[in-house]
Amino acid sequence: MDTATLARIMSEHEIRHRDLALIADVTLRTVSMWKNGYAPVPRAVALILHAVDEGVLTENWLADHIRAMELAPRGEPLGSLVGDF
């Protein structure tokens, strides 16, 4: 995924740096490095972003899971917070 595509998807779908960092389990610095082209976006992250961009994953689904990730202790399953995946 190139930097322009990353920036466009994040902007159009209101995905903040901290949201993407939480989803990918990386630091804000790593997300910044992806956006500035200093490090490649991992395939799994690109796949999630493309799925959101193409409507396969809805913004509401993503937002619900981000909230669950913020509430769940690290390493705990999210199913009880958002229902079955």
Q: How many domains does the chain have?
A: 1
| pLDDT on residue 80 | 46
Q: Which domain holds residue 53?
A: 3-72
Phi then psi for residue 45, to 5 deg, are -70, -45
Q: Is the pLDDT of residue 15 over 70?
A: yes
Q: Is 82 a member of any domain? A: no
Task: Name which residue leads in pLDDT, 22 or 79.
Answer: 22
The model's pLDDT over 27-70, given as tens digits with 9 standing for 90+, comes to 999 999 999 999 999 999 999 999 999 999 888 888 888 778 77
What mean pLDDT is predicted for residues 1-13? 95
How close are the terminal C-alpha atoms of the chain, in Å?
26
84 pLDDT more than 60? no
CA 80 – CA 47 distance, rounded (Å): 25
Does any domain span residue 64? yes
pLDDT at 78 over 50: no
Residue 81 forms part of a structural domain: no
